[in-house]
């Protein structure tokens, strides 16, 4: 006879209790617990806590076994021998750790369904529910998610052994605390496939290893292909077959990297891209910062890169602030308003809007009622219409660092690229993923690879310009799981990893900063009603309303997140070259 006893017990279980040393108060015996990794204090590593899982015990109840199983998943990369002990032979044959890692919030809800099957086995069915906050892909991409995750687990009591898991979801399941403990946000640097003169950052999450320094983990990952977001858009200077033999601290606090493989000694010159990839990937992850880097090949020294030497690998063009005054482009000074730029772009003119400046500020683009025009910022310059279309049909112009001008033709649903001086009309750039989309904005990042787009009123997408098989806009994805919650009024690239998005909703206006690497959204406090935003790294400007009938002013964001007036009157649409 089948006997069913249902326990609808819903418990919020914090991972900090269930999966750390304090978990000993919940799970008998001595685990699971965490230990400080021996890499703590090593200048080439980062301190972290490592999960030490324990095998299941005969006296554990179903809930304790499931908590122990989750701890074994958290420790699986370091010790894969414990987790199989929680599974029946049937479950072990059917389960695989491969695939994306599921990241759940620390608080879980448990629903139990306890009963006997055929009078011979005590079976425990547990439904686990929790908010899923992310997924870590096999290429180490951290993908933010929103929504609830619910999966069934089935445990069976084995005579003389205790409960074992007979049915469980595929893959590794971690909590937010597990990820914070064992993973680190990491910046990898690759070469832009289009221009080869710029490094492009690839943001991933790397798992720390107790047997390796963080510096070695970073460099070994750098030898692999970039994440899916940059596939086909970037390249590497490391020849195939390169290996990281060791990374250690040497004399004079230098970092000594020993490589092996088919490396040309010329590739290790101080200004070569390979050395730049190594240096930026280490120093911008706060490893080897301010230290010389010595690169060896098979133990023989080939090159030493000195710290704090700017070789332009993250060049963003001219670092000058501009704004519009009565339809004319003006530059700013430290004291406030500056003069107008040379040529027709610096002369007041009606009907010109959405100005954009090239990398060096020597070319100006603007939108008119009939299309997009450009002019050199010289006395001899003249406005020339290079793309035809109404403001309703074309998105605002955006310059690429290679000197080309981009827009999206909404009427025909195509990306257009115009190359000044080519005497050719704007060419179409393939973008198969955008077919049928209502693209409302498109801006090229200063790295020359990434592209931010908006569709409709409130959806932000990030893509990349790929080169494999011809120039193409692809790899388009939504960078965050958080909805904007209103109408997008403006957006701008702040740096290679962050986009500013100005949003208007019923609750008011917000300025959000989206981290396109991990999807985090940070709200920048506002006091005034803003119209436009522009940014270049730590420098953020905005056009703000002064009040009804009082015109607008240019504000600057201070380090304390307050806004101060930069230009008091006759100032609109702040802008920087590119971005």
Beta strands 255-260 and 293-297 are parallel
Is the CA virtual torsion 139, 292, 257, 246 positive or negative? Answer: negative
Contact of 5 with 123, CB cutoff 8 Å: no
Over pLDDT 90: what percentage of the chain? 72
Give Dmax over CA atoms of the chain in angstroms: 97
Residue 508 has a CB neighbour count (10 Å cut-off) of 10
Q: For residue 32, is pLDDT > 60?
A: no
Q: For residue 425, is pLDDT > 60?
A: yes
Average pLDDT over residues 274-278: 92
Give 481's DSSP letter: S
Count CA within 13 A, CB hemisphere, residue 418: 25
Q: Which of 384, 401, 374, 407 is nearest to 317 (CA)?
A: 401
Six token digits for residue 416: 């257009």
Residue 348 has a pLDDT of 94
CA geometry: angle 553, 554, 556, nearest 5 deg: 140
Phi, psi of 315 (to 5 degrees): -65, 135
pLDDT band at 25 (very low <50, low <70, confident <90, very high): very low
Beta strands 101-104 and 173-175 are parallel
CA distances from 294 to 108, 261, 392 (A): 48, 17, 55
Six token digits for residue 9: 């017990």
Contact of 94 with 113, CB cutoff 8 Å: no
Residue 37 has a pLDDT of 54
d(CA 247, CA 294): 10
Six token digits for residue 232: 């086909």
Domains and CATH numbers, the chain: 4-181 (no CATH), 184-305 (no CATH), 322-575 (2.120.10.30)
Residue 199 has a CB neighbour count (10 Å cut-off) of 25
pLDDT band at 546 (very low <50, low <70, confident <90, very high): confident
pLDDT band at 114 (very low <50, low <70, confident <90, very high): low
The DSSP element (H or E) to which 15 belongs, if any, is helix 15-18
d(CA 164, CA 89): 10
Torsion of CA 57, 58, 63, 68, to 10 degrees: 20
Contact of 138 with 100, CB cutoff 8 Å: yes
Six token digits for residue 203: 């943001």
Contact of 55 with 46, CB cutoff 8 Å: no
Residue 140 has a pLDDT of 97
Distance from first CA to last CA of the chain, Å, rounded? 71
Q: Which of 454, 503, 510 is nearest to 479 (CA)?
A: 454
Residue 24 has a pLDDT of 27
Determine the number of helices (DSSP H) and then strands (DSSP E) in the chain.
6, 41
What SS3 class is residue 517? Answer: coil
* Residue 288, preceding peptide bond in cis (omega within 30° of 0): no
Residue 7 has a pLDDT of 30
Six token digits for residue 211: 């047997």
d(CA 363, CA 256): 45
Q: Which of 134, 224, 140 is nearest to 185 (CA)?
A: 140
What digits encode the pLDDT tens for the residues 166-223?
999 999 999 999 999 999 999 999 999 877 789 999 999 999 998 899 999 999 999 9
pLDDT band at 35 (very low <50, low <70, confident <90, very high): low
d(CA 379, CA 359): 19
CA distances from 128 to 13, 14, 154, 329 (A): 11, 13, 11, 59
Over pLDDT 70: what percentage of the chain? 90
Per residue, what are the HEC states of 154-181? EEEEECCCEEEEEECCCCCEEEHHHHHH
Average pLDDT over residues 472-477: 96
What digits encode the pLDDT tens for the residues 510-520?
999 999 999 99
Q: Which residue has the higher pLDDT, 558 or 36?
A: 558
Contacts with 87 (C-beta within 8 Å, 6 or more apart), sequence order: 95, 164, 165, 166, 168
Phi, psi of 94 (to 5 degrees): -95, -10
pTM above 0.75, yes or no: yes
Q: Which of 285, 267, 269, 263 is nearest to 217 (CA)?
A: 285
* Residue 314, preceding peptide bond in cis (omega within 30° of 0): no
């Amino acid at each position: 006879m089948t006997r069913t006893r249902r326990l609808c017990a819903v418990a919020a279980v914090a991972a900090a209790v269930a999966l750390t040393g304090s978990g000993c108060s919940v799970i008998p015996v001595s685990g699971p617990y965490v230990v400080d990794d021996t890499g703590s204090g090593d200048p080439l590593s980062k301190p972290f806590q490592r999960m030490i899982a324990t095998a299941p015990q005969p006296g554990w109840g179903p809930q304790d076994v499931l908590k122990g199983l989750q701890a074994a998943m958290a420790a699986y990369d370091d010790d894969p021998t414990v987790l199989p002990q929680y599974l029946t032979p049937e479950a072990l044959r059917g389960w695989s750790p491969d695939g994306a890692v599921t990241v759940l919030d620390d608080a879980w809800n448990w629903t139990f369904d306890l009963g006997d099957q055929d009078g011979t086995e005590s079976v425990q069915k547990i439904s686990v529910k929790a908010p899923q906050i992310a997924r870590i892909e096999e290429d180490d991409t951290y993908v933010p998610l929103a929504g609830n995750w619910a999966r069934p687990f089935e445990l069976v009591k084995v005579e003389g052994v205790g409960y074992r898991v007979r049915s469980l979801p595929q893959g590794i399941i971690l909590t937010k605390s597990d990820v914070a403990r064992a993973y680190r946000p990491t910046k990898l640097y690759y070469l832009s496939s289009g221009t080869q003169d710029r490094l492009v950052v690839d943001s991933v999450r790397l798992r720390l290893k107790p047997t390796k320094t963080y510096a070695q983990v970073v460099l070994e990952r750098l030898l692999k292909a970039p994440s899916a977001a940059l596939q086909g858009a970037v390249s590497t200077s490391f020849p195939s077959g390169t290996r990281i033999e060791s990374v250690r601290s040497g004399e004079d606090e230098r970092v000594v990297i020993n490589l092996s493989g088919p490396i040309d000694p010329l590739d290790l010159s101080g200004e070569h891209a390979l050395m730049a990839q190594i240096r930026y990937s280490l120093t911008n992850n706060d490893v080897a910062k301010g230290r010389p880097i010595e690169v060896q090949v098979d133990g023989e020294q080939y090159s030493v890169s000195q710290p704090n030497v700017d070789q332009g690998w993250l060049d963003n063009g001219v670092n000058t602030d501009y704004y519009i005054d009565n339809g004319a482009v003006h530059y700013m000074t430290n004291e406030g308003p500056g003069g107008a730029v040379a040529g027709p772009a610096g002369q007041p003119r009606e009907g010109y809007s959405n100005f954009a400046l090239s990398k060096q500020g020597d070319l100006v683009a603007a939108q008119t009622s009939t299309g997009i025009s450009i002019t050199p910022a010289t006395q001899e310059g003249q406005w020339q219409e290079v793309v035809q279309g109404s403001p309703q049909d074309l998105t605002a112009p955006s310059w690429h660092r290679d000197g080309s001008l981009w827009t999206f033709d909404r009427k025909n649903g195509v990306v257009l690229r115009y190359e000044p001086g080519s005497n050719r009309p704007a060419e179409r750039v393939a973008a198969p993923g955008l077919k049928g989309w209502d693209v409302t904005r498109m801006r090229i990042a200063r790295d020359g690879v990434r592209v931010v787009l908006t569709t409709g009123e409130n959806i932000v997408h990030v893509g990349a310009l790929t080169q494999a098989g011809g120039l193409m806009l692809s790899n388009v994805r939504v960078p965050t799981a958080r909805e904007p919650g209103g109408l997008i009024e403006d957006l701008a690239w702040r740096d290679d990893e962050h986009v500013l998005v100005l949003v208007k909703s019923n609750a008011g206006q917000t300025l959000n900063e989206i981290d396109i690497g991990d999807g985090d959204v940070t709200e920048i406090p506002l006091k005034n009603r803003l119209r436009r935003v522009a940014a270049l790294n730590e420098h953020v400007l905005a056009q703000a309303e002064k009040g009804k009938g009082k015109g607008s002013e240019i504000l600057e964001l201070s380090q304390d997140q307050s806004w101060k007036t930069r230009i008091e009157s006759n100032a609109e649409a702040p802008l920087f070259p590119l971005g």
